[in-house]
Amino acid sequence: MRLFLKDPLAILADGAGGGLVVEDGRIAELVPGGGRPSAPVDATFDASRHVVLPGLVNTHHHFYQTLTRAHPSATDKALFPWLVGLYPYWARLDPESFRLSVRLALTELLLSGCTTAADHHYLFSAGLEDAIDIEAEEAAQLGIRVTLTRGSMDVSVKDGGLPPDSVVQDADTILADSERLLSRHHDRADGAMLQIALAPCSPFSSSLAVMRASAELAERHDCRLHTHLGETEDENRYCQELFGCRPLDYLEEAGWLGPRTWLAHGIHFTTDECRRLGAHKVGVCHCPTSNAVLASGFCPVNELQAAGAPVGLGVDGSASNDASNMMEAVRHALMVARLNYRAPEAMTARDALRLATEGSAACLGRADIGRIAAGRQADLALFTLDELRFSGAHDPIAALVLCGAHRADRVMVKGEWRVIDGTPVGVDLPALREAHGRAARRFA
């Protein structure tokens, strides 16, 4: 079926003032202002109330953390004490509560205009060995595109790390399950709905042996690599004391310094390290909200981009952001950049949206999403400007960012509507809220 999204109020694409045509899950045609599709269409959607964006792409999240938002054990703490405060609660995860945490996080993301989400799951307590399979089932049910990273930790408290012994696994278990998941779920085809990446958690919870073996597996299976790096000064000190080098040197020693890799946070990099990352095309996911909540610092977004490193956007965990909302992350990216660089022109509204679309797609190694262009996947987020917050706004696209849009009216993934009139298709929101809230009480 050919669907014509007609005459949008505004659209983040060149030469598409008249709308676009969707066919077989792809954008078949851009229609210039005042024009009409070049061939007959089967249906028309009047988009005159809508600002049309490429579907937002979230490149770093921890779905399970929706169960421990605004938790007294972690409130107002920096990263290391925050982790220490929450690990004992996360160790209680079981399949039922985990499934609800995933469903709620993915639903929140969809409602914010997100069409592709990457999750970093690295906690595998007893009974939760199939966590990534649960995530795959939930994503398929909601119809959202995902990159699920098989995270891992093999350095616990007894080894001088931070996580409790009960949530880590040995190297053989990690690598065997990583290979299983890649064989079962990883789709390298254009338009893939599910891809797997390998993601040892961090230098202070994953061994060099697991980092190296993961890089070898990624090469063999043609998948991507992901980890936390450069998030805090504590991490820098930890690496210096234990390994005698900075985190980026540790990454290079592990064989990760290449275009397969994207990193979460990337705050504490020197100018030279930004150049190294750019030279090797290592991506960085900027997490402005989490960085601010944990007072971790400012990601050098502009320096990284100038050096040639792809930079995307992520909401990070729902216990350090306390939301799973990509449009809020876009606004925060703009505000944090202007504070950091002390210049309004350091990041515009369109720059911030590009981080969440083209930049994020590049981090995930995908050329089929992230832009509204003929041949790309039909992943779209449509917002109205009907609320009081938008009254008086003259630039509809800038208004989404500056006036604080946070909920999409319509969301399309692979040509299918997944949110209609602000409601996710097939989801009973009150029932989900009640079940998730009940599960979260176990973590009090």
Length of the chain: 444
Domain membership flag for residue 105:
yes
Q: What is the pTM of this model?
A: 0.97
Give the CA count within 13 Å in the CB-facing half-sphere of 152. 28
Q: Are residues 93 and 116 in the same domain?
A: yes
Q: Are residues 93 and 48 in the same domain?
A: no
Domain membership flag for residue 92:
yes
Domain membership flag for residue 435:
no
Q: Are residues 390 and 258 in the same domain?
A: no
Domain membership flag for residue 444:
no
Pairing of strands 261-265, 283-286: parallel
CATH number for the domain that contains residue 116:
3.20.20.140
> What total of structural domains would you count in the chain?
2
Q: How many CB atoms lie within 10 A of CB 213?
A: 20
Q: Are residues 85 and 211 in the same domain?
A: yes
Q: Tens-of-pLDDT digits for all 444 residues of the chain?
A: 999 999 999 999 999 999 999 999 999 999 999 999 999 999 999 999 999 999 999 999 999 999 999 999 999 999 999 999 999 999 999 999 999 999 999 999 999 999 999 999 999 989 999 999 999 999 999 999 999 999 999 999 888 777 888 899 999 999 999 999 999 999 999 999 999 999 999 988 999 999 999 999 999 999 999 999 999 999 999 899 989 999 999 999 999 999 999 999 999 999 999 999 999 999 999 999 999 999 999 999 999 999 999 999 999 998 899 999 999 999 999 999 999 999 999 999 999 999 999 999 999 999 999 999 999 999 999 999 999 999 999 999 999 999 999 999 999 999 999 999 999 999 999 999 999 999 999 999
Residue 341, exposed/middle/buried by CB under 10 A (0-12, 13-18, 19+)?
middle
Domain membership flag for residue 430:
no
Measured CA to CA, the distance from residue 38 to residue 13 in angstroms comes to 18
Q: Are residues 133 and 71 in the same domain?
A: yes
Q: Are residues 49 and 111 in the same domain?
A: no
Q: Are residues 264 and 381 in the same domain?
A: no
Residue 340's SS3 state is: helix
Q: Are residues 235 and 278 in the same domain?
A: yes
Q: Are residues 14 and 145 in the same domain?
A: no
Q: Are residues 50 and 63 in the same domain?
A: no
The CA-to-CA distance between both ends of the chain, in Å, stands at 49
Domain membership flag for residue 436:
no
Measured CA to CA, the distance from residue 129 to residue 298 in angstroms comes to 35
Q: Are residues 49 and 73 in the same domain?
A: no
Q: Are residues 164 and 265 in the same domain?
A: yes
Domain membership flag for residue 432:
no
CATH number for the domain that contains residue 25:
2.30.40.10
> What pLDDT, on a 0 to 100 scale, did the predictor assign at position 318?
85
> What pLDDT, on a 0 to 100 scale, did the predictor assign at position 164?
86
Structure-block tokens of residue 226:
């992901």
**Domain region containing 400:** 2-54+370-424
Domain membership flag for residue 125:
yes
